């Protein structure tokens, strides 16, 4: 007769109950032949969520562009003649000629890296790996530079580099801050909530819009089933390890 024994948290194995050596610190260490019979790894990435984040990013860019367009010239640094030339021809000309811009250093090396960190955190919050989240920052930054902004000015070469690269480095630190807050046993304080919003600016803005319009946030559940057939020639025993992992 066989029974279902817990092996590791979330993992269960079917093995004969008459073998006490099963309860050693490493129960499967004595198995000579172990192989994976069937495995279906799950994709933890929330693609629908990251697409929604991208739509919101474009929306925020449109809002910012409208504000800049209607702002006085002394604040926007956008001349009337440039506004008159606004159109698809201007966009097509700009996207084919990226330049090294002369924006203020704080814009290029403080503000843009901060936005890049926000892109990275969006990827991590959507279940993407650290490497994939870097590419999320690259894609978001490129869409920003070659998208709406190119109607107004040429893409910035240093922004295309600094935003995702330095932004990812900052985002890794932001992630550590967020993990420390979330690992606390007590509920987050007001200051903790402020830091969570500060380290995920786009997430905070997007959630605010969702609440305003009654849009429900979603996360697609994913699961992985892993079946391992094991054989121990020494004890002439077969085993079956069934692993089920899920996240939501």
Which residues span the domain enclosing 52?
47-213
240 forms beta bridges with 14, 229
Please tell me the distance from the alpha carbon of residue 2 to that of residue 22, in angstroms, as a whole number.
13
Same domain for 110 and 86, yes or no, is yes
Same domain, 53 and 82: yes
Mean local confidence (pLDDT), 151-164: 92
> Does 164 share its domain with 231?
no
Do 44 and 222 meet the contact criterion of CB atoms below 8 Å apart? yes
User: Domain check: are 203 and 191 in the same one?
Assistant: yes
Edge-to-edge order in the sheet of strand 11-16: 2-8, 11-16, 237-247, 222-232, 33-40
pTM of the model: 0.69
Lowest mean pLDDT among 134-148, 151-165, 172-186, 226-240: 226-240
Question: Are residue 135 and residue 110 in the same domain, yes or no?
Answer: yes
Same domain, 112 and 95: yes
Judge if 148 and 231 occupy the same domain: no
Is 248's pLDDT higher than 90? no
**According to the model, what pLDDT value does residue 235 have?**
54
Could you read off the pLDDT of 94-126 as tens digits, one per residue? 999 999 988 888 989 999 999 999 999 999 999
Same-domain status, 17 and 122: no
Q: Are both 159 and 73 inside the same structural domain?
A: yes
Task: For tokens 């089920």, name the residue.
Answer: 244
How many domains does the structure of the chain reveal? 2
Q: How confident is the model at residue 164 (pLDDT cuts 50, 70, 90)?
A: very high
Task: Give the mean pLDDT of 22-38.
Answer: 44
Per-residue pLDDT at 47 = 92
Other C-beta atoms closer than 10 Å to the C-beta of 236 total 7
28 pLDDT more than 70 = no
Alpha helices by DSSP H, listed for the chain, are 47-70, 73-76, 80-84, 88-95, 105-106, 112-125, 130-146, 157-182, 190-198, 201-213
| Cβ atoms of 57 and 65 closer than 8 Å | no
Both 226 and 106 in a single domain?
A: no
Which among 190, 187, 219 has a CA at the least distance from the CA of 203?
219
- The kind and range of the H/E element at 226 are strand 222-232
Q: Are residues 67 and 118 in the same domain?
A: yes
Q: What's 15-58 look like in SS3?
A: EECCCHHHHCCCCCCCCCEEEEEEEECCCCCCHHHHHHHHHHHH
The answer to whether residues 193 and 77 belong to one domain is yes
| pLDDT (0 to 100) of residue 238 | 54
């Amino acid at each position: 007769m066989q029974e279902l024994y817990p092996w590791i948290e979330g993992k269960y194995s079917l093995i004969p109950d008459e073998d006490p050596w099963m309860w050693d610190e490493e129960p499967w260490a004595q198995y000579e032949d172990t192989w994976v019979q069937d495995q279906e790894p799950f994709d933890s990435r929330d693609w629908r969520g990251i697409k929604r984040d991208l739509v919101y990013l474009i929306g925020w860019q449109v809002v910012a562009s409208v504000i800049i367009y209607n702002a006085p010239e002394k604040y926007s640094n956008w001349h009337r003649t440039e506004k008159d030339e606004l159109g698809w021809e201007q966009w097509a000309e700009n996207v084919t000629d990226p330049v090294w811009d002369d924006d203020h250093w704080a814009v290029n090396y403080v503000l843009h890296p901060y936005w890049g960190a926000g892109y990275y955190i969006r990827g991590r919050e959507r279940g993407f790996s650290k490497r994939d989240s870097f590419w999320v920052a690259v894609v978001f930054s490129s869409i920003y530079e070659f998208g709406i902004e190119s109607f107004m000015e040429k893409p910035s070469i240093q922004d295309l580099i600094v935003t995702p690269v330095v932004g990812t480095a900052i985002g890794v630190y932001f992630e550590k801050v967020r993990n420390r807050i979330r690992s606390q046993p007590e509920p987050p304080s007001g200051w903790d909530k402020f830091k969570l919003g500060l380290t995920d600016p786009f997430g905070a803005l997007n959630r605010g819009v969702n609440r305003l319009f009654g849009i429900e946030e979603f996360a697609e559940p994913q699961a992985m089933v892993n079946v391992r057939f094991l054989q121990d020639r020494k004890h002439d025993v077969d085993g079956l390890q069934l692993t089920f992992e899920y996240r939501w």
